[in-house]
Chains A and B, each alone.
Chain A
Amino acid sequence: MGSEPTLPKWASKPCIMGIDEAGRGPVLGPMVYGCLYCACSYAETLSTLNFADSKTLKEEKREELFENLKADESIGWAVDVIDPRELSAKMLKKIKVNLNEISHESAIGLVNRVLNMGVLLTEVYLDTVGDAEKYRVKLSERFPSIKFVVSKKADSLYPVVSGASIVAKVTRDRALREWVHDETAEGMKRNFGSGYPGDPETKAWLEQHKHTVFGFPSLVRFSWGTCNSHFKDMVEVLWEPEKIDEDGSGSGKRQLKLSSLGISTSKRKIEEIESSGKGRCKFFQSRKLEQLAHF
């Protein structure tokens, strides 16, 4: 999603861009990265448009400013909406991807997208994510022709970042307002509040929408610490261990038997809980097949 695909004339002149995020902290809903760009010569006018850090503005004011900047032909914008399912899945992969990496990749994706449209970006401003200098170096290595300014509170210091924060925040708010639950269970409500873990409305919604087997609807970020306290009251789910044996021999990996997990009614010796596959023909071993006389 973004401004018109037709490239405006000013885009071939040196341009500046701001990037900002909305919905990094909440336990539910998408995280949105937004960017706003314009010709360097327009930057001064930009500072007169009263963009301020989106968090300090009322919702109606943000909506109004977003409509204004969309109508402004001297401004371009784009967003990257990262679905909560994608956030959870990446953070819960066998090799976990942390939120900072996801954020970096999203920002890099936006720079790429704008460059590929043919916009001549010379300066890009962003807020810190993790260590500011490391982030700046990472970005500069990817895009050597662009000057990056990574700074704390960039959203209140640079109008171009303030504008990007409005783009991101309005997009996230709309995504939540229009959210359609994938789940078809009865009694699925949308009164989830702001999504911040401390919001009483969000807390109550989480409490009402937990499911003993499935956990939560897919709107929720399962990888958030907030969810852990809830998982204690739910059915336990065991996943394959994250790391395989240190010696790296996959075939020697012990297999967890279902019988040890209470699936079998027959009593078994403790030493039989884990099956090493020892003594079995290789054909069966590699296919995880075992002869069973009781079940």
Chain B
Amino acid sequence: MDEEENLKTGTVGLKLKSESDVPDLTARVHLLPCFVKYDGPCAVSDYFKPKVTGVEVDGLKVEEAYFRGRKLEGATFPLPQGYCGLVLGKKIPQKRKTSDMTESWNSDCWELDAKFQSITYWNHDSLPSQHDTFLRSLHWLSVAEALHKPVTSEQLSGSSIHVEAAAARK
């Protein structure tokens, strides 16, 4: 892959509703270790019954649940401060003209359906730990912050001294 392709960016249009209209799904968002080929409403809380085990690993409180006969072990992780989880959806366009439909489907305009402040992620056959990809993927947040934080003039002058010192040693 060449450099140019690496730098591609995308934009997402987001239609915001007033905060109070958006349901809060905190503690009800589950990330399963499988792919369920279904997209739509479902009586999750009637069938999916997570239970607290009392076991703790790496500071994570282990929960257990069963899905399709498999035993899942997981943990609830609050999203870091300053971040919020969003459920986005596209409104299904009403049947009018075919041209209208394709246009609205391909548009990058999303609507905010719900928000959440925690995710419960589940493993099949392994206890949750800090080595899990889901938790590790969140490392990016602190790296991104360090990368994108505005650099103060003091930091700048400080680093230039280092560069000079390094050059002088040579």
Chain B residues with Cβ under 8 A from A238's Cβ?
Answer: 34-35, 37
Contact between B37 and A235 (Cβ–Cβ < 8 Å)?
Answer: yes
Contact between B69 and A289 (Cβ–Cβ < 8 Å)?
Answer: no
Within 8 A of B (CB), among A49-92: 85, 88-89, 91-92
Q: Is A33 an interface residue (CB 8 A)?
A: no
Distance from B90 Cβ to chain A, minimum over Cβ atoms (Å): 7
Given contact pairs A184-B46, A256-B35, A262-B37, A287 touches B140 in the complex (Cβ within 8 A): yes
CA distance A256 to B35 in the complex (A): 10
CA distance A26 to B160 in the complex (A): 76
Chain A residues touching B, majority SS: loop
| Most chain B CB neighbours (cut-off 10 Å) among A85, A185, A214, A294 | A214
Q: Is B43 an interface residue (CB 8 A)?
A: yes
The chain A residue with its CB closest to the CB of B135 is A287
Chain A residues with Cβ under 8 A from B34's Cβ?
Answer: 237-240
Chain A residues with Cβ under 8 A from B69's Cβ?
Answer: 85, 88-89, 91-92, 215, 220-223, 227
The chain B residue with its CB closest to the CB of A87 is B69
Contact between B68 and A279 (Cβ–Cβ < 8 Å)?
Answer: no
Chain A count of residues within 8 A CB distance of the other chain: 50
Chain B residues with Cβ under 8 A from A1's Cβ?
Answer: none
Contact between A222 and B136 (Cβ–Cβ < 8 Å)?
Answer: no
Chain B residues with Cβ under 8 A from A235's Cβ?
Answer: 36-38
A94's partner among B48, B68, B125 (CB-CB below 8 A) is B125
Q: Is A183 an interface residue (CB 8 A)?
A: yes
B66's partner among A89, A213, A293 (CB-CB below 8 A) is A89
CA distance A220 to B49 in the complex (A): 16
| A/B pair count, beta carbons within 8 Å | 105
Contact between B68 and A215 (Cβ–Cβ < 8 Å)?
Answer: yes
Distance from A195 Cβ to chain B, minimum over Cβ atoms (Å): 16
Contact between A240 and B136 (Cβ–Cβ < 8 Å)?
Answer: no
Contact between A182 and B35 (Cβ–Cβ < 8 Å)?
Answer: no
A213's partner among B1, B38, B108, B139 (CB-CB below 8 A) is B38
Contact between B47 and A211 (Cβ–Cβ < 8 Å)?
Answer: yes
Contact between A214 and B35 (Cβ–Cβ < 8 Å)?
Answer: no
Given contact pairs A94-B125, A185-B46, A237 touches B68 in the complex (Cβ within 8 A): yes
Contact between A237 and B46 (Cβ–Cβ < 8 Å)?
Answer: no
CA distance A292 to B108 in the complex (A): 13
Q: Which of B8-16, B77-85, B112-120 has 4 or more CB atoms under 8 Å from chain A?
A: B8-16
Contact between B90 and A218 (Cβ–Cβ < 8 Å)?
Answer: no
CA distance A222 to B66 in the complex (A): 11
Chain A residues with Cβ under 8 A from B133's Cβ?
Answer: 287-288
Chain B count of residues within 8 A CB distance of the other chain: 38
Contact between A265 and B90 (Cβ–Cβ < 8 Å)?
Answer: yes
The chain A residue with its CB closest to the CB of B40 is A213
Write out, one digit per residue, whether chain B residues 133-150 have a CB within 8 A of any chain A CB (1) or not (0).
100110110010000000
Contact between B10 and A292 (Cβ–Cβ < 8 Å)?
Answer: yes
Q: Is B124 an interface residue (CB 8 A)?
A: yes
Chain B residues with Cβ under 8 A from A283's Cβ?
Answer: 139, 143
Q: Is A261 an interface residue (CB 8 A)?
A: yes
Contact between A261 and B35 (Cβ–Cβ < 8 Å)?
Answer: yes
Chain B residues with Cβ under 8 A from A262's Cβ?
Answer: 37
Chain A residues with Cβ under 8 A from B140's Cβ?
Answer: 284, 287, 289
Chain A residues with Cβ under 8 A from B35's Cβ?
Answer: 237-238, 256, 258, 261
Write out, one digit per residue, whether chain B residues 18-52 have a CB within 8 A of any chain A CB (1) or not (0).
00000000000000011111110011011111000
Contact between A294 and B68 (Cβ–Cβ < 8 Å)?
Answer: no
Q: Is B70 an interface residue (CB 8 A)?
A: yes
Chain A residues with Cβ under 8 A from B125's Cβ?
Answer: 93-95
CA distance A238 to B47 in the complex (A): 19
Within 8 A of A (CB), among B102-128: 105-106, 108, 124-125
Q: Is A270 an interface residue (CB 8 A)?
A: no
Chain A residues with Cβ under 8 A from B39's Cβ?
Answer: 263
Chain A residues with Cβ under 8 A from B42's Cβ?
Answer: 213
B residues whose Cβ falls under 8 Å from a Cβ of A: 1, 6, 8-10, 12, 33-39, 42-43, 45-49, 66-71, 90, 105-106, 108, 124-125, 133, 136-137, 139-140, 143
6 closest Cβ pairs, A-B complex: A222-B69, A293-B10, A88-B69, A89-B71, A214-B47, A279-B1
Q: A217-B47, A240-B124, A293-B9 are in contact. List 6 more A-B contacts (CB 8 A).
A: A88-B70, A91-B69, A222-B69, A239-B124, A240-B33, A283-B143
